[in-house]
Amino acid sequence: MSGRLAIVGLGPGDHRYLTPEARAALDAADVLYGYGPYLDRVSERAGQARHASGNRVEGARAQDALNEAAAGAQVAMVSGGDPGVFAMAAAVCGEIETGPQAWRALDIVVIPGITAMLAVAARAGAPLGHDFCAISLSDNLKPWDLIEKRLDAAAAAGFVIALYNPISKARPWQLGHAFTRLAQHLAPSTPVVFGRAMGRADEALTVTTLDQAGEVKADMATLVIIGSAETRVIARDGKAPLVYTPRVAAAVTA
């Protein structure tokens, strides 16, 4: 059998979010690669090798997996959420583009998973009901001024914005700066949703407004959704509010 590399999305949380296609790809693999905490979510199977690595070695992990597939193994590379969203699928493609010719001949499949943005949106109601975009707030792989430019453009254009990688120990101020920047375009009452560890036992959802958003704690397991001028919150007695963006947008007034 020729080698194969499946890049598998695990979804945001526990096994409820693993698709049958992803489950089958994991079962069929001789060897699994991935960031340690993601690999820990996959149950062990006798005879299946596992290679866990850190979150700063995506390129090396991709190269190892490609080499093993090129040697004939059935390899699965696991990724949290969807592997194509700020994750391993693009890292593998990058290595294939610059790597040995043999890697281009491999059977490569990308198996989708539920990305964090969709999991958080579903818990909150329907904040992505109209046009939206996703921006990673990490300035590890792009300059901060480019992030600011994209925040300005997205908010001015009326997109709902999902922020991945909002904060970390090494990036403590970026989220606060992003809120300040967005406040130049959006009303203080704009709804903001914080979703933490969605799909896991300790998941938490907070609904607030842009002027209060700086008070809410966020960490690396949090995804933030900032509404547009159209986004609304329906308050409900004794139940969580419903955040939604209507399917119909108002006409542009110059």
Q: Which is nearer to ligand SAM, 97 or 202 (CB)?
A: 202
Beta strands (DSSP E) in the chain are 4-9, 31-35, 49-53, 74-79, 107-111, 125-126, 132-136, 160-164, 191-196, 204-209, 222-226, 232-236, 239-244
Does position 206 interact with ligand SAM (CB under 6 A)? The reply is: no
Choosing from 115, 174, 206, 228, the residue that interacts with ligand SAM (CB under 6 A) is 115
Q: Which of residues 25-84 bind ligand SAM (CB under 6 A)?
A: 79-82
223 vs 212: CA distance, rounded Å: 16
Least spacing, CB of residue 241 vs ligand SAM, in Å: 19
Least spacing, CB of residue 38 vs ligand SAM, in Å: 9
Choosing from 221, 225, 226, 243, the residue that interacts with ligand SAM (CB under 6 A) is 221
Q: Which is nearer to ligand SAM, 70 or 88 (CB)?
A: 88
Tell me how many helices (H) and strands (E) the chain has.
8, 13
Q: Which of residues 149-188 bind ligand SAM (CB under 6 A)?
A: 164-166
Return contacts of 153-156, CB within 8 angstroms, 24+ apart: 155/181, 155/182, 155/184, 155/185, 155/186, 155/226, 156/185
Residues that bind ligand SAM (CB under 6 A): 12-13, 79-82, 85-87, 115-116, 120, 164-166, 195-199, 220-223
